[in-house]
């Protein structure tokens, strides 16, 4: 497995890691403990960077990772996060100490801010990070789901060590970070951890794109997922962290780290899978089903922040109006209905956009058409 430098430090991380979100794992097919041998098999195969968070399974992901890596801790580079609700200085320290207990370790290699929290000054958050660095409880600081402006502010607020990494969605379907975010990270020695690198299992979208990947995969005797992962980690400063609960998939991901695509193949993939953004009127979008309890169903619910989102739709709307980066929402056409779409990912951003522009400005979107 090839490795990459974490930020501008001496730490090396596997170019492909293991994402430990539990969203795709059903305990009806077993217990969470069944993931332990999967994680260990991944480490044995070279996937030695492991990413988790307290938000994954309400701490269960960290507990499972802790049990899995306890006998092999020195072989693993461990990343976890602090949730937005805990981003005061004291909250950051408390969150790290809770994570250390669940992870059964005395140090976190990479401690990341999961999402920005506009209600807490970034200087306050970084004061907590500074304290943890001084106490030897964390080694490196990263951020996740930050805009370029938020990343700049975080770098300025952290005095003792540089920001080592940014975690953000990046795959052959959503390449929106290539415009400004990725160049900024490369220029400033910030490692980009790409979550959802396989586009939630679909790899990419579009007949021509899929056929291109299938042909290249056939030439190499591998899968399209392996081609996609190989293409991603061939990008400078990018580390992919696919999420799976199946051991055969972990080993497949590890093998992708040994796949070498030619420059011609990389260029063809880049050309064929170019970003296809569209501007969609917000009144053509269904943000949530009527029976959904985990999302805002109406504009008034978004304005009132009825589900307690951090940041709230109003707060995110202020960032949008200020010109801050907003990644495209991901939509799917409603079957049998012309010019109508469902939100697959980005409901909070959708409502923030509606609030920011009174529903009068089309929103930037990626349309994922399974047909």
Element holding 359 (H helix, E strand):
none
DSSP state letter for 328: P
CA distance 350 to 355: 9
H helices of the chain, in order, are 35-44, 60-69, 89-103, 122-135, 148-157, 181-187, 207-220, 224-233, 247-256, 263-272, 299-304, 313-321, 347-356
With tokens 């899929």, the residue in question is 210
Q: How many CA atoms lie within 13 A of 189 on its CB side?
A: 11
CB 240 within 8 A of CB 229: yes
Query: Rg of the chain's alpha carbons, rounded to an integer?
Result: 20
CA distance 24 to 21: 8
CB 25 within 8 A of CB 35: yes
> Which residue is catalytic, options 56, 170, 195, 350?
56
Neighbours of 31 (CB within 10 A): 10
Task: Please indicate whether residue 56 is annotated as part of the active site.
Answer: yes
Phi/psi for 125 (5° steps) reads: -60, -45
Catalytic residue positions, numbered = 56
């Amino acid at each position: 497995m090839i490795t990459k430098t974490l930020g501008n430090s001496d730490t090396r991380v596997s170019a492909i890691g293991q994402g430990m979100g539990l969203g795709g794992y059903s305990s009806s097919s077993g217990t969470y403990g069944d993931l332990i041998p999967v994680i260990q098999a991944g480490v044995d195969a070279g996937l030695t960077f492991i990413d988790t968070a307290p938000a994954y399974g309400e701490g269960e992901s960290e507990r499972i990772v802790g049990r899995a890596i306890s006998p092999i801790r020195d072989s693993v580079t461990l990343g976890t996060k602090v949730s937005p609700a805990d981003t005061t200085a004291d909250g950051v320290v408390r969150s790290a100490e809770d994570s250390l207990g669940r992870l059964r370790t005395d140090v976190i290699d990479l401690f990341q801010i999961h999402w920005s929290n506009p209600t807490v000054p970034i200087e306050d958050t970084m004061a907590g990070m500074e304290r943890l660095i001084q106490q030897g409880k964390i080694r490196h600081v990263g951020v996740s789901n930050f805009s370029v402006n938020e990343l700049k502010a975080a770098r300025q607020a952290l005095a003792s060590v540089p920001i080592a990494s940014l975690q953000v969605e990046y795959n052959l379907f959503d390449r929106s970070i290539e415009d400004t975010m990725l160049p900024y990270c490369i220029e400033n020695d910030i490692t980009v951890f790409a979550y959802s690198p396989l586009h939630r299992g679909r790899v990419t979208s579009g007949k021509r794109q899929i056929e291109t990947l299938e042909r290249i995969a056939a030439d190499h005797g591998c899968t399209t997922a392996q081609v996609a992962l190989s293409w991603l980690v061939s990008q400078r400063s990018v580390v992919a962290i696919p999420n799976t609960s199946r051991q055969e998939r972990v080993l497949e991901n590890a093998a992708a780290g040994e796949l070498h695509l030619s420059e011609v193949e990389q260029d063809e993939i880049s050309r064929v899978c170019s970003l296809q953004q569209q501007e969609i009127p917000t009144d053509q979008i269904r943000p949530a089903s009527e029976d959904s309890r985990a999302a805002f169903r109406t504009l008034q619910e978004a304005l009132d922040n009825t589900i307690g989102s951090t940041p709230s739709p109003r707060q995110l709307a202020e960032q949008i109006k200020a010109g801050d980066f907003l990644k495209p929402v991901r939509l799917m056409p409603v079957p049998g209905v012309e010019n109508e779409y469902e939100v697959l990912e980005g409901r909070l951003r959708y409502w923030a956009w509606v609030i920011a522009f009174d529903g009068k400005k089309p929103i930037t979107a990626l349309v994922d058409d399974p047909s």
